[in-house]
Structure formats: C-alpha cells, structure tokens
Amino acid sequence: MERRIKIFPTAFILAESLANVIVNKITTAGRKKSFFSIALSGGKTPGILFSILGDHFSAAADWRLVHFFWVDERCVPPGDHDSNYGMAKAAIFDKISIPDSNIHRIRGEEDPNTEVLRYARELNKIAGKKNGLPVFDITILGMGEDGHVASIFPGNEFLFFSDELCSVAEHPSSGQKRITLSGKLINNSRDIYFMVTGKNKATIVNEILGEESTVKRYPSSLVAGNAGKTYWYIDMEAAALLGNKIQSY
Ligand code: 6PG
C-alpha cells in the first residue's frame, strides 16, 4: 500500500492546498460527468478547510455537481454544536450555491439503529458504484490522538471490517452514540486524504507513519484506498517526530 505524505508549514497552508485539490478535481470531473461525491469527516481539524472552501472558493467550482456525504456523525440534532453536518453547513453550504438535495447528511437526531439502515439505502441509491459498493470521489479523513478514524476507535476494529456500509459506534469516554462508515466503504474511495494537524497528533503520526510503525495497529492504519494511494496531509507540528527520513512527495 502506497502512502503519499505531504508535510506543510502550517495548517492554513495545508488546508489551502487541499481546498485547491478538491476544487481542481471537481472542475476536471465536471468536464466528463455531472456528479462528484465528497465524504467529509468532522472534529476540529477540517474546520479550517471548510472555512477556506466557503470563504474563498465559493465561486471556484460548479457546486451543483457535487454531492456531500459524511464518514461519520455524532447522534445529535443538526443544530447541535457537536454536529459534523452543522459545522460544514455553517462553514461551506451556507456560502455556496448548492441544491439542498446534494447534501446527504446522516440524521443524528434519528434513532441510530434506524438511521444506519436509512443511510445505507441513501448511499446505495445516490453515490456511484465501484467494486459493487458506493464510491466517493474524495474522502477527507481526520485522525484522533488515539489513532481512531471516522468513529472507529481502538478496540472496535470490528466496525472497520463490518460487512455493513455503516454501523452504530460509541465514543469510548463520553459514550456518545455515533454513526460511522465501515472500512470497506472508506477504502473504496477513489481518493483518500487524511488531514492531520497540531502537536497533539505528533506521537500518533509517528507511530503510524514513522520508521518503526507497526502497520494495522490502529484503525487509521487500516485505511488504504483500493487504488493503494492514501494521501497524508500533515502540518509541521503533527510531523514533528517523523524526522527527515520520511520523504514528503
Ligand atoms: C469526528 C471525526 C473524527 C475526527 C477525529 C479527529 O466525528 O470526530 O470524524 O474521526 O476526524 O476525531 O478529530 P479532531 O480533528 O477534532 O482532532
């Protein structure tokens, strides 16, 4: 599995670069097809990317061909400060011209066990297919300090290997119910971009990407796009322990 690591001086420069990647891919796709899908993660890290997209790229892409999905969602109402959808709505959707029908949020306000079934149906109906599975053109992933990805936390790797498209998960310390995509769906993405910033991620980044990494030790280690290319966009703070042995592509 090939990991392509790119280290940026700051989180802002990283986010600006990733925003350009996204917009360029939308533009390129727009010449050939009328549908482009992006799966978003939540948490704090992507906030700067969403703000850049909403504030500086609102006119840079034909958002009418873009469909947004989520890698995971907290089981809270859309207006809750914890909602991943709510964060993206305020930073992006309220600032771009995009049909509401292109926003495929996970309904955190619904019963989790019912919503996983509904969302799986929506994924099957709307997202394109590759390898017989729903496919996203780009999936944006964050990573927790404990190496979790989406809402798949260490010890719950069975959720990554689930046969379902999405499952109910639980935050290990808060007990908050989550809905998370499974690994087969994440890995089916055409392009996967991890976005990892901040000094608090330096240890886990080194454990996963450093020389001594024992692959497959964390949920995030299990992410490997079927194309074999997973891009790791990391700022200098998060890369602090990687040393210069890691080649930034
Ligand atoms: C979520 C995210 C989750 C996130 C990591 C990193 O719903 O919380 O999808 O996977 O990417 O927890 O979160 P931070 O960016 O806040 O460190």
Residue-wise pLDDT for 106-159, tens only, equals 999 999 999 999 999 999 998 889 999 999 999 999 999 999 999 999 999 999
Whole-number Å distance between alpha carbons of 4 and 12: 19
Distance from the alpha carbon of residue 143 to the mean position of ligand 1, in angstroms: 6
pTM listed for this prediction: 0.96
- Counting from 1 in the atom list of ligand 1, the atom nearest the Cα of 142 is 11
- Counting from 1 in the atom list of ligand 1, the atom nearest the Cα of 145 is 17
Nearest Cα residue to 120 out of 109, 106, 130, 110: 106
Q: Which residue's CA is the nearest one to ligand 1's atom 7?
A: 42
Instruction: Give the per-residue pLDDT at 139.
Output: 97
Mean pLDDT of the residues in the chain: 94
**What residues line ligand 1, using a CB cutoff of 6 Å?**
41-45, 71-72, 84, 142-144, 149-151
Q: Give, for ligand 1, the residue of 51, 72, 218 to mutate: max count of ligand atoms closer than 8 Å to Cβ.
A: 72
Question: Looking at per-residue confidence, does 95 or 212 come out higher?
Answer: 95
Instruction: Give the per-residue pLDDT at 227.
Output: 63
**What separation in angstroms does the CA of 148 have from each of 129, 137, 143, 174, 223?**
26, 22, 6, 15, 11
Instruction: Give the per-residue pLDDT at 49.
Output: 98
Distance from the alpha carbon of residue 85 to the mean position of ligand 1, in angstroms: 13
Locate 17 and state its tokens: 């670069």
pLDDT in tens, 61-85: 999 999 999 999 999 999 999 999 9
Nearest Cα residue to 84 out of 153, 183, 150: 150
202 half-sphere exposure, CB direction, 13 A CA radius: 10
Whole-number Å distance between alpha carbons of 153 and 220: 9
Instruction: Give the per-residue pLDDT at 224.
Output: 87
DSSP 145-200: TT--BTTB-TT-HHHHT-SSSEEEEE-TTT--EEEEE-HHHHTT-SEEEEEE-SGG
Please state which of the ranges 122-126, 148-152, 197-201, 209-213 shows the lowest mean pLDDT.
209-213
- Counting from 1 in the atom list of ligand 1, the atom nearest the Cα of 71 is 9
Instruction: Give the per-residue pLDDT at 82.
Output: 98
Q: Are 52 and 16 in contact (CB under 8 A)?
A: yes
Distance from the alpha carbon of residue 173 to the mean position of ligand 1, in angstroms: 14
Q: At which residue do the structure tokens 């149906």 appear? A: 121
Instruction: Give the per-residue pLDDT at 67.
Output: 98
Distance from the alpha carbon of residue 10 to the mean position of ligand 1, in angstroms: 19
Whole-number Å distance between alpha carbons of 237 and 197: 7
Mean pLDDT, to the nearest integer, of 96-113? Answer: 98
The separation between CA 94 and the C-alpha centre of its own chain, rounded to angstroms, equals 20
- Counting from 1 in the atom list of ligand 1, the atom nearest the Cα of 46 is 15
Whole-number Å distance between alpha carbons of 192 and 203: 22
Distance from the alpha carbon of residue 121 to the mean position of ligand 1, in angstroms: 24
Instruction: Give the per-residue pLDDT at 87.
Output: 98
DSSP 76-92: S-TTSTT-HHHHHHHHT
Checking if the pLDDT of 34 tops 90, the result is no
Distance from the alpha carbon of residue 33 to the mean position of ligand 1, in angstroms: 31
pLDDT in tens, 167-193: 999 999 999 999 999 999 999 999 999
Instruction: Give the per-residue pLDDT at 211.
Output: 74
Q: At which residue do the structure tokens 């999905």 appear? A: 69
Checking if the pLDDT of 246 tops 80, the result is no
Distance from the alpha carbon of residue 247 to the mean position of ligand 1, in angstroms: 26
